[in-house]
Amino acid sequence: MRKLLLTITALALGSFAYAQQGSVTGLGVKAHFGFASVSGEDAGGADPALGYAIGGFADFFLTEHVNITPELQYVKRGYHTDLDEQEAIHVDYQYISVPVMAKYAWQMNELRPFLQVGPEFGILLRADWDGNDFTEQTTALDFGLNVGGGVQITQRWGAEMRYFFGLKSTDEGGDTDIRNTGAMFGVTYNFLGVPGR
């Protein structure tokens, strides 16, 4: 776990160091809600479950159109599988995640749309299978790629969506290929306001 924390810390500090070539133009909070699921060769029969992410972010504008946005979030992922008409298995994963998003934005009348892409690193807090803890059997460090877009509606309020593609199996033993995926929709609030609007 210590190595995982050091890895996440190094990645976060690296993103902040790179971003400081620009200027800090945003500090805020965000909340995402949507559907979580899994993909992979052994994910057959898995159905989506409720997923959400709550946390904060910092915006570092590099140019008029490009900025880097490191985030720190609590994330819930998972899925469920129907065994029969009366019984289902529910799997929940809880993470502390660090997405590092690169955004390209442009002005469109009073709105500022943007596209975003970037990696996400997650430290597993707990894995639960119908109330049974199987954290030790689950990969401690999750990794994947986010792609999406959104729009800055006012200087402070924005809306966005993103899709997470898991690139690493959740199985600690490596015997099965099950990776987190999910579509999230959310709102953002920037305490400093977005410049240029």
Percent of the chain with pLDDT over 90: 65
* Model confidence, pTM: 0.84
Output the average pLDDT for the chain.
Answer: 86
Inter-residue contact 53 to 32 (CB < 8 Å): yes
Q: How far is CA 136 from CA 43, 54, 132, 171, in A?
A: 20, 25, 11, 10
Residue-wise pLDDT for 106-149, tens only, equals 999 889 999 999 999 999 999 998 889 999 999 999 999 999 99
Q: Is the pLDDT of residue 9 over 60?
A: no
Residue-wise pLDDT for 14-34, tens only, equals 544 544 455 777 899 999 999
- The whole-number pLDDT of residue 4 equals 47
- What is d(CA 30, CA 58) in angstroms, rounded to the nearest whole number? 11
Percent of the chain with pLDDT over 70: 85
- What is d(CA 126, CA 105) in angstroms, rounded to the nearest whole number? 36
Mean pLDDT confidence for 67-95: 88
Task: Give the domains, in start order, of the chain with CATH numbers.
Answer: 2-190 (2.40.160.20)
